[in-house]
Every structure is written in structure tokens, then in C-alpha cells.
Amino acid sequence: MSHLHSAQAAQAVTPITRTREDAPFYLPIANELAVFEAAFLGGLPIMLKGPTGCGKTRLVEHMAARLGVPLYTVSCHEDITASDLVGRYLLTGGETTWVDGPLTIAARGGGICYLDEIVEARADSTVAIHSLADHRRELYLERQGNARIQAAPDFGLVVSYNPGYQSVLKDLKVSTRQRMVAIEIDFPPPEIEEEILVREAAVDRAVAAAFVRLGQAVRRLDHEDLREVASPRALVAAGVLVARGLTPRDAAIAAIVGPLTDDPRTRAGLMSIVDAYLGAA
């Protein structure tokens, strides 16, 4: 086994490493930054919960930069296997080479491994994180002769998921949940959302305020009418369009109404909300 190489997977997985100075913009709603930092420094895994588009990924990117560690992001889906996370052998010209997966790289060299939408992956694929997630902070590499890696001190495990979205069957296993520190990222209050729009989309405050109010109205709709509601991300997208020359109304139709529904009646209903907040055509 000693002749096996574990190549630094520079060619397979590239981390995002930023400095503190160009940390991506993130405006906290509550004490989430403090909780994140405390959990990371304390070696505890973190679970980010909240609706889509509210800033979970942005929070992780921001904190990785502030903490000065590389960030390895995995967008989870049903076909993800344990090998995708831990690593696999590649066949290169008749030889076999072991290549670390993002989880292993982060565990070895330090950094945050971020499993986005972890519930989408099958449970047997994510079982690898259990030993990393509890006090052992160890990773087992079965295929590498049961090598055991002790996680680096600045290794951090972060997962995210959207609680409202999942079906009964696809919930996070209790054994997984219990190991995590939870941070809830919900829709921001209006004044914070307005500030986010101004900073992210570079629109003026009046337009931002109108979009925020529109978002508030749409979010009051029961889920029977809409499967999703307008996330901060959607509002920012509308703002970006305005900054690039579209009218607020056109931007709202493109970035908010269009993505939310295909049903013509619902669309007409959303248009009346656009009319109310951004003026009729």
C-alpha cells in the first residue's frame, strides 16, 4: 500500500481562497457571524437552515474569507456518491492514482468543506461525514487501506438545507442532525434587505425600497398560491437588471414574476402586485 500516492487534487478540486479584505459582502440579520465563528473555532460542524436564496452560501463564503481558510463547495444531488466526497482512484495511463475528494482535501490541509443542499444526496453517500462531524474529527479512507486522517485544526464542516422544501421521506437523518450546530437564515427584515439590495445590485434606495415592499407582499401569500416566494436573491437579480438599464417594472417581471410561476392566472395575479408596487405600465 505504501506505493499509493495521494495526489493533491489541484487538477480535480480548486478551493476558493480569499483574503479578509475582499471577503464577499454579507450583512448579518442576527448573531449568525458570531455563532459561525465560535462553532468553527471550536471544531463543531455547522448546519445552515433556511429558505433558498437568503444568503446561506454567501455567509459561508464570507466567513471562509474572514477566517482565512480555503472553501470547498459541493452542490449535492441524488447521484452524489461517497467517492465524490472522499476521493477515488483514477486510471491514468495504466497506473492507478488516488485523488482526494473535497472532504479529504479539507480534512488534510484545513479549510471549510461546504455541502450545499445536503438532503438532496442519498443518506449512504453522506455517512462519511459522521466521523468528521463528532468529537473524533476523523475521516476513514476505506479504499486507501483504511487510512485514518485526523482533521486539521482549521478544518470545518458546513452543510445547508431548506427545511420547507423537503418531503417527509427526504429529511436529514436524526443521527446527522444531532451532531450539528444550527444557524437559521431566514428572510431578512425590510431595512436589512433594502441595504443588501443597495450594496449588491447598486440600485438607488427608492428602487430598492419598492422592491423590498413587493417582496414583503409576495411573501405573505400562502404556499397554495406559489411554490416559492420571492427570495432576496430574486430581488437582487431584479436590482441588477435595473442597474443595467431596465425599468423597475420590466426587471420585476423578468427576475421575480417569471421564475415564480408558469400558470397564467397566477402570473396575472403577480402582475397586479407588480402594478401596485412599481406602477402600472
Strands ordered across the beta sheet of 111-116: 71-75, 111-116, 155-161, 46-49, 181-184
Round to whole Å and give the CA distance between 115 and 24: 19
Q: What angle do CA 110, 112, 115 make, to 5 degrees?
A: 140
- For other proteins, the binding residue among 44, 113, 218, 242 (CB under 8 A) is 218
* Nearer of residues 35 and 217 to other proteins, judged by Cβ: 217
Per-residue contact flags (x/-) with other proteins for residues 131 to 160, judged by CB under 8 A: ------------x-----------------
Q: With beta carbons less than 8 A apart as the criterion, state whether 74 and 102 touch.
A: yes
**Closest separation between CB of residue 271 and other proteins, Å?**
6
Contact between 88 and other proteins by CB under 8 A: the answer reads yes
Question: Can you give the length of the chain in residues?
Answer: 281
Buried-exposed string 220-241: b where 16+ CB fall within 10 A, e elsewhere: ebeeeebebbbbbbbbbbbbbb
Q: Which of 8, 75, 92, 96 binds other proteins (CB under 8 A)?
A: 96
- Identify the helix (H) or strand (E) that includes residue 139: strand 138-141
Question: Helix axis angle, 32-41 relative to 56-67, nearest 10°?
Answer: 50
In the complex, minimum distance from the CB of residue 233 to other proteins, in angstroms, rounded to a whole number: 20
Nearer to other proteins, 143 or 179 (CB): 143
**Of all helices (H) and strands (E), which one includes residue 100?**
strand 95-100
Report the site for other proteins in 259-278 (rule: CB under 8 A).
263-266, 268-273, 275-277
Q: Which of 95, 147, 106, 80 is nearest to 13 (CA)?
A: 106
Residue 6 binding other proteins, by CB under 8 A:
no
Selected from 38, 41, 202, 281, the binder of other proteins by CB under 8 A is: 281
Residue with smaller CB distance to other proteins, 46 or 230: 230
Interacting span for other proteins (CB under 8 A) from 50-58, 179-187, 196-204, 206-214: 206-214
Grid cell in block for residue 88: 477515488
- Residue of the chain from 22, 93, 224, 245 that contacts other proteins (CB under 8 A): 224
CB 74 within 8 A of CB 80: yes
Q: Please identify, among the stretches 110-118, 131-139, 154-162, 223-231, the one whose residues bind other proteins according to the rule CB under 8 A.
A: 223-231
CA distance 42 to 54: 26
Binding to other proteins by residue 247, rule CB under 8 A?
no
For other proteins, the closer of residues 162 and 266 by Cβ is: 266
Nearer to other proteins, 202 or 268 (CB): 268
C-alpha cell of 98?
A: 488516488
Place of cell 398560491: 225
Report in angstroms how near the CB of residue 79 gets to other proteins at its nearest: 10
CB of 195 to other proteins, least distance (A): 14
DSSP state of 253: I
| 167 forms part of the interface with other proteins (CB under 8 A) | yes
Where does this chain bind other proteins (CB under 8 A)?
A: 1, 81, 83, 88-91, 95-96, 143, 167-169, 190, 209-210, 213, 216-218, 220-225, 227, 263-266, 268-273, 275-277, 279-281
